[in-house]
Amino acid sequence: MPQIAVTIAKGRTPQQIRNMLHEVHAAVLRTVDTRPEHIRVTVHEVPHTHWATGDVTIAETRSLPADGSAAVEPAAAMDPAAPADARQGGTDVGHPAAFTTATDMELT
């Protein structure tokens, strides 16, 4: 009995979610030897403020200018109580191009 859990950032319409459920179900049905009524698909929607990559939330990433000129400081970099190595930074994690997540992809 296949069970598929999809975690996705909030913001899709109910129809987009329904279309995704249908497509995931169809893909499992095509590729796994099981009956349609045995396939379970669940969707977990996460608020943009509760999903972070590189200590920068989706909400923070989307608040950057289009040219990426203003980097978002990770929370550890702003916290004087954080360990020194966490405050050093290094890469421009706030630049939108630094992120490649499923949440950045649109369903077609």
pLDDT of residue 9: 96
pLDDT over 50 (residue 41)? yes
Most confident stretch, 12-16, 59-63, 84-88, 96-100:
12-16
Has residue 78 been placed in a domain?
no
Number of domains in the chain: 1
49, two tokens? 């403020």
pTM of the model: 0.60
Q: How far apart (Å, rounded) are the C-alpha atoms in residues 106 and 108? A: 6
Has residue 24 been placed in a domain?
yes
CATH number of the domain within which 27 lies: 3.30.429.10
Has residue 105 been placed in a domain?
no
Q: How would DSSP label each residue in 47-103?
A: -GGG-EETTEEHHHHHTS-TT--SPPPPHHHH-TTS-HHHHS--S-TTSGGG---GG
pLDDT of residue 8: 97
Residue numbers of the domain that contains 27: 1-46
Has residue 23 been placed in a domain?
yes
Has residue 2 been placed in a domain?
yes
Q: Which run of H or of E encompasses 18?
A: helix 14-31
pLDDT over 70 (residue 32)? yes
Has residue 65 been placed in a domain?
no
